[in-house]
Copies of this chain bind each other. A is one copy, B any other.
Amino acid sequence: MAIEVNEKTMTGLNEECGVFGIWGTQKAAEITYYGLHALQHRGQEGAGIVGCCEGTLRQERGLGLLADVFGKGTRLVNLAGSTSALGHVRYATSGANGIENIQPLLAHFSDTQLALAHNGNLTNQVSLRRQLEAEGAIFQSTSDSEILLHLIRHSKATTLTAQIKDALNQIHGGFAFLLLTPNALYAALDPHGFRPFVIGQLPGGEYIVTSETAALNVVGAKLVRDVFPGELIKIDDTGMQIDHFTDKTALQIDAMEYIYFARPDSDIYGINVHNARKRMGARLANEHPVEADMVVGVPNSSLSAASGYAEALGLPNEMGLVKNQYIARTFIEPTQERRERSVRMKLAAVASIVKNQRVVLVDDSIVRGTTSMYIVKMLREAGAKEVHVRIASPAFKFPSFYGIDMQTTAELMAANHSLAEMTALIGADSLAFLSVDGLVNAIGLNQQVAGTGLTTAYFDGHYPSPIYDYAPTMAKFVATGKVDYMEEPR
């Protein structure tokens, strides 16, 4: 029987998260809490920490921001004395998700305990889940992360390390896993390295593995190096052992990490994100210059690109949009009127800056296009004479399967409209996107590894790894004729 995965499940299953693991310090839980703060941008739906104290793993987790979950009450106190810990921040997907999906997951066995934190998305999760259920497995969450736990326990291998390798070779897609037992901390990255994953060290030598270098900085740790695709790292009281679960690897990190997801102060494979964005802006200026009076970036994510764009053309870079820093969370905004207000609550145009000016509005990406539409409208209401929209990444046409919750293609503006249509819909005087080549060059990763080293499937449909359970849906999508799709040979 063919496995059916509809667009709804495709969206719902995806997730973008942040993870942090540490071994060998009395303040493991507290440091994890601080480290997670630097990863909060990667997930705001929920947060959790599992700490190991005197051989026993204890779990604390809750819905909401880190400060809501751990900043008050006794959750952090309950973890005091932990000498190793695992932390996770979870992305807010649209569906109402329960506490059982908040990670790290913690499983109790008669002989051990196992905690797991995951950033990514498995492309064969539906198949695996059905197979495991057929063997009698009972799942406690709807998260795909739990699959790894079952695979490990179902493995016939005789050591935990061998069982983990066994399990890792059965899953596909993008994954950066941290596992904690009372005896060791494990870290594993998928064979394409879709997600960033770094190793750091505290001044005392204690090891940390986490999603971004920004989390190392906040706890005073130094970067050791990035985790490489296919590696399985084990950290215990004897130190760090670097192993690998597969040889068939090829770095293809998700380009969206450089474009939008990662923090500007993080370095990924040696490349600073802010600098990469600035180069994207500069490249965009070269590809699509405009005669204008000023550049205005959409705060905060597009300020780097705007700065690069402005410098390249010698235009003033002005603060024509102000962001309200207190709107981290808003309630559901169902109506059109409310969606517009939601944007107005987050952003305000500064009339005294943009009035009678020709403005180049630089944004990092366009997904559904509604936010861009409202921003252009706000700038015009504030008196802007012209608004030229420049996007510091290519047009977004294909869904993601490796760990980002990208709206179904039905809602992707660039998948359904021509450039001219988009320009009209957004209400801009002109609209232009960075080319895929421009993006790849601006990031500059291709000078270090074979290939581009990047996944740019959102823009060109070249998926670097099989998409398994998603294939039928993708096929239907391609059949519409609006886009090409080319999976890399397995």
> B-contacting residues of A (Cβ < 8 Å)?
34, 37-38, 40-41, 44, 65-67, 71-72, 107-111, 129-130, 133, 135-140, 142, 146, 149-150, 153-154, 214, 217-218, 220, 263-265, 267, 272, 274-275, 300, 303-304, 307, 311, 316-319, 322-331, 341, 344-345, 348-353
Shortest CB–CB separation between residue A401 and chain B, in angstroms? 20
Contact A303 B319 (CB under 8 A): yes
Contact A316 B326 (CB under 8 A): no
Shortest CB–CB separation between residue A136 and chain B, in angstroms? 4
A311 to chain B: which residues have CB within 8 Å? 316
Shortest CB–CB separation between residue A91 and chain B, in angstroms? 13
Contact B154 A325 (CB under 8 A): no
Shortest CB–CB separation between residue A41 and chain B, in angstroms? 7
Contact A110 B138 (CB under 8 A): no
Knowing A139-B108, A311-B316, A330-B71, the reply to whether A37 touches B324 (Cβ < 8 A) is yes
Q: Which of A44, A267, A324 has the most CB atoms of chain B within a 10 A radius of its CB?
A: A324
Contact B328 A328 (CB under 8 A): yes
Contact A66 B326 (CB under 8 A): yes
The DSSP consensus for interface residues of chain A is mixed
Contact B353 A138 (CB under 8 A): no
Shortest CB–CB separation between residue A338 and chain B, in angstroms? 10
Contact A67 B130 (CB under 8 A): no
A328 to chain B: which residues have CB within 8 Å? 67, 325-326, 328
Shortest CB–CB separation between residue A64 and chain B, in angstroms? 10
Contact A348 B38 (CB under 8 A): yes
A348 to chain B: which residues have CB within 8 Å? 38, 214, 217-218, 263, 265
Tell me, in angstroms, the Cα distance from A220 to B349 when the chains sit together. 12
Tell me, in angstroms, the Cα distance from A220 to B381 when the chains sit together. 10
Contact A319 B274 (CB under 8 A): yes
Contact B218 A345 (CB under 8 A): yes
Tell me, in angstroms, the Cα distance from A65 to B328 when the chains sit together. 11
Contact B263 A322 (CB under 8 A): yes
Shortest CB–CB separation between residue A138 and chain B, in angstroms? 5
Q: Which of A138, A267, A275, A323 has the most CB atoms of chain B within a 10 A radius of its CB?
A: A138
Tell me, in angstroms, the Cα distance from A67 to B326 when the chains sit together. 9
Tell me, in angstroms, the Cα distance from A55 to B264 when the chains sit together. 48
Tell me, in angstroms, the Cα distance from A82 to B72 when the chains sit together. 27
Contact A138 B133 (CB under 8 A): no
A316 to chain B: which residues have CB within 8 Å? 311
Q: Apart from A41-B324, A217-B344, A265-B351, what are 16 other A-B pairs with CB-CB below 8 Å?
A: A67-B331, A71-B331, A72-B331, A107-B139, A108-B139, A108-B142, A109-B133, A109-B139, A136-B154, A138-B138, A138-B140, A140-B140, A263-B348, A264-B350, A265-B322, A326-B328
Tell me, in angstroms, the Cα distance from A426 to B262 when the chains sit together. 31
| Nearest neighbor of A344 in chain B, beta-carbon distance | B218
Knowing A130-B110, A138-B149, the reply to whether A326 touches B44 (Cβ < 8 A) is yes
Contact B275 A353 (CB under 8 A): yes
Tell me, in angstroms, the Cα distance from A325 to B142 when the chains sit together. 30
| Nearest neighbor of A40 in chain B, beta-carbon distance | B326
Contact A274 B322 (CB under 8 A): yes
Contact A325 B325 (CB under 8 A): yes
A272 to chain B: which residues have CB within 8 Å? 350-353
Q: Which of A137, A142, A330, A350 has the most CB atoms of chain B within a 10 A radius of its CB?
A: A350
Tell me, in angstroms, the Cα distance from A267 to B353 when the chains sit together. 12
Tell me, in angstroms, the Cα distance from A142 to B220 when the chains sit together. 39
Knowing A153-B136, A331-B72, A344-B217, the reply to whether A267 touches B352 (Cβ < 8 A) is yes
A345 to chain B: which residues have CB within 8 Å? 34, 37-38, 218
A317 to chain B: which residues have CB within 8 Å? 307, 317
Knowing A136-B154, A300-B325, the reply to whether A349 touches B108 (Cβ < 8 A) is no
A-B pairs with beta carbons under 8 Å apart, 20 shown: A34-B344, A37-B327, A41-B326, A66-B326, A67-B326, A109-B139, A111-B133, A135-B136, A136-B136, A137-B137, A138-B138, A138-B153, A217-B348, A218-B345, A264-B350, A265-B348, A267-B352, A272-B352, A275-B352, A304-B319
Contact A326 B133 (CB under 8 A): no
Tell me, in angstroms, the Cα distance from A317 to B44 when the chains sit together. 31
A38 to chain B: which residues have CB within 8 Å? 324, 345, 348
Knowing A135-B136, A316-B311, A353-B274, the reply to whether A40 touches B130 (Cβ < 8 A) is no
A41 to chain B: which residues have CB within 8 Å? 324-326
Knowing A108-B142, A324-B37, A327-B37, the reply to whether A265 touches B133 (Cβ < 8 A) is no
